[in-house]
Amino acid sequence: MAEGYKEVVAKRSIFGHISRILFWGFNILMIIWIFAGFNSATEGMENMTDAEAAGTAIGTGIGVTLLVIIWVIGDIILGLFYLFTRPTRQMVKDD
């Protein structure tokens, strides 16, 4: 830090707090959704024929891929809101 200056950090706005909660909540929701969907799709596979198991594996892969795509798109959008509402930082001359 420069001599004779101090850093002043503003507080996050209400919209900033909401965007932060939405960003982290969305990430937690997507993690739960992917693991729960994967577990429910693969339970009972030991009683299936080879063709049924292959179909289940392909369908599960497609479903998880679509959820990951939704996750990435949602993270980009919510991440931009989170980034643009961060508090400002300024260097102010120390008196």
pLDDT at residue number 1? 59
Q: List the structure tokens of 78.
A: 């919510």
Rounded to the nearest 10 degrees, what angle do helices 14-42 and 50-84 cross at? 170
Q: What is the pTM of this model?
A: 0.77
User: Based on C-alpha coordinates, what's the Rg of the chain?
Assistant: 23
Of 34 and 10, more confident: 34
Spans of all domains in the chain: 13-87
pLDDT at residue number 9? 83
Q: What is the pLDDT of residues 61-78, one digit of tens each?
A: 999 999 999 999 999 999
With DSSP H G I counted as helix, E B as strand and the rest as coil, what are the percentages for the chain, rounded to 5? 70, 10, 20
